[in-house]
Structure 1
Amino acid sequence: MIRLLAAAGTVAGLAAAAALAAQPAPNRGAEVYRRVCFSCHALDPGRNTPAGPTLHGLAGRPIAGLRGFNYSPALRRFAAREGRWTRALLERFLADPDALVPGIEMSLPRLSAADRQAVAAWLSPR
């Protein structure tokens, strides 16, 4: 009985450790933003740049829906199909913007799955 309880405790501990390892490091999303997104996208509400709209409030926001930014026709067509940004949709977008939104006027370096997950999670509550 003691061995059974010890084994169950070990399995539960390993499962908890695996779940923690799957979560991005808290600062990784901020680092990815500074390295990849910062040059074109601000985080302040209402602060669009000539190259890109603010990323403040991105999760749940209508795609191509901010006033004051001239979105590409490709992104407006995508918005008509998809509606709103979700964390999962953002991760798909960051994997290959050109494949998801053909004709989009945005370029970014190839990001690892972990970097995409981290920056999408970091942007979600903003």
Structure 2
Amino acid sequence: MRLTLTALAGLTFAGLAAPAFAQDIEAGAKTFNQCQTCHVVQNEAGETLAGKNAKTGPNLYGVVGRVAGSLEGFKYGAGIEELKATGYVWTEADLAVYVQDPTKFLVEKTGDKKAKSKMMFKLKKEEDAKNVVAFLASLAPAADAAATDAAAPAEGAVTE
């Protein structure tokens, strides 16, 4: 019994000593500077939340949780169109993998060895990829709504 408790305590301590990877939204905002040459994050109201109105790549507002290749008015490459046909929805984890090697990601997800991405840029570091995706997720429609809700008085609240 003593050995079991010692082992359990050791595992618990090891978990505390080596925390899971935590995304850094602020670092992701800095990393996004590399992405803004091609991408913008612009909400439905037309407000630019990040980037410089670049149109080479699609608007990344709400990309996490969106069906791949589904942004109206943007002409995607064949690889993303093939992924879209499967109904694939972007997750934070997969988007972080995609930005590190877009073509490899498409080949793996579609099973098409000839699948290619029009996105030539790759984030070399996994940490940068996770951080930039966390940054994009922080600018998502749900995040905007939460910020608006937090700023608005509660229904029935007295305001001065």
Q: Quick check: which one's helix share is greater?
A: 1
Question: Partner residue of 2:5?
Answer: none
Partner of 2:121: 108
Q: Quote the offset at 1:82 in angstroms.
A: 5.2
Structure 2 residues not aligned, in runs of 5+: 1-8, 47-52, 107-114, 141-160
Shift of 1:68: 1.0
- Look up the match of 2:37: 39
Which position in structure 2 is the counterpart of 1:19? 19
The alignment's TM-score, normalised by the length of structure 2, stands at 0.62
Q: How large is the Cα RMSD of the aligned pairs?
A: 2.6
Q: Report the alpha carbon displacement of residue 26 of structure 1 after superposing the two structures with TM.
A: 3.3
Aligned length: 120
TM-score using structure 1 length: 0.77
- Alignment identity in percent? 27
CA distance in 1, matches of 2:25, 2:69: 28
Q: Which amino acid aligns with 2:43?
A: P
| Pairing 1:117–2:133 present | no
C-alpha displacement of 1:42 = 0.5
Distance 1:92 1:82, change over 3 A: farther
Structure 1 CA distance for aligned equivalents of residues 63 and 37 of structure 2: 17
Q: Structure 1 residues 56-65 or 71-80, which shifts more?
A: 71-80
Match of 2:94 among 89, 93, 114: 89
Deviations 1:42-83 (A, max 9, x none): 011256743111111111011111111111122100122352
Larger radius of gyration: 2
For the Cα contact (< 8 Å) 2:64–2:92, is it kept in 1? yes
Gaps of at least 5 residues in structure 1 are: 1-7
Would you say the 8 A contact 2:123–2:129 is kept in 1? no
Answer whether contact 2:102 2:122 (CA < 8 A) is retained: no
1:72 matched to 2:77? The reply is yes
Q: Does structure 1 retain, via aligned residues, the 8 Å contact 2:103–2:116? A: yes
Query: CA shift at 1:32, angstroms?
Result: 0.9
